[in-house]
Amino acid sequence: MPARRLAAKQEIALPDQRQRPDWDEYYMRIAMAARSRADCLGNRVGAVLVLDDRIISTGYNGTPANMTNCTDGGCLRCSQRDRFASGKAYDLCICVHAEQNALLAAARFGIATEGSRIFSTMQPCFGCTKELLQAGIEKVHYLHPWVYPDEQMQQTYQQLQQQFGGGMVAVEIEDEEANWAVSKGRTE
């Protein structure tokens, strides 16, 4: 029996078939999968670095390799959250952020990041924003917003964000684990 040819660009609609995600959703969902490895008492974040539509690195937040995990008391700042204001004292936190881990993994394996995009489940903090700019990241895609707690410094943070050539944009997809991942959403 001869095969039937379809006209160019003709879509076949199959019953109960899922929609293919667009690229932004695809990469963000991979960042969400990376986030599942996060071991932090604060925000739980995953990140994916993408260059030329290929994943070059992933990262999630937690203590450095071979150190006691955050949930086991490895980080003083995280285990005593009542002593430290939100968004402050990151210099005392031993956890490595997801964006940092993605950059560091790329560096460890000799992978250039210049011109890449990052997909992060949280808008990068002040420090990560500076590091991403220094690493030549072109565009930032994030799932959940992050606001610096000091209004004057928030303005400086926004000025830094404007330095990304491709911008910093929110990816609008549902996050069924937001209450687990974003510390401000937790009731525990």
- Name the catalytic one among 11, 25, 99, 114: 99
Please give the backbone phi and psi of residue 58, each rounded to the nearest 5 degrees, phi first: -130, 165
Please give the backbone phi and psi of residue 57, each rounded to the nearest 5 degrees, phi first: -170, 155
Please give the backbone phi and psi of residue 51, each rounded to the nearest 5 degrees, phi first: -130, 130
According to DSSP, the β-strands at 139-144 and 117-122 are parallel
Residue 49 identity (one-letter amino acid): L
Residue 177 identity (one-letter amino acid): E
- Contact between 138 and 50 (Cβ < 8 Å): no
- Say whether 131 is catalytic: no
Residue 53 identity (one-letter amino acid): D
Please give the backbone phi and psi of residue 164, each rounded to the nearest 5 degrees, phi first: -75, 120
Q: Give the residue numbers marked as catalytic.
A: 99
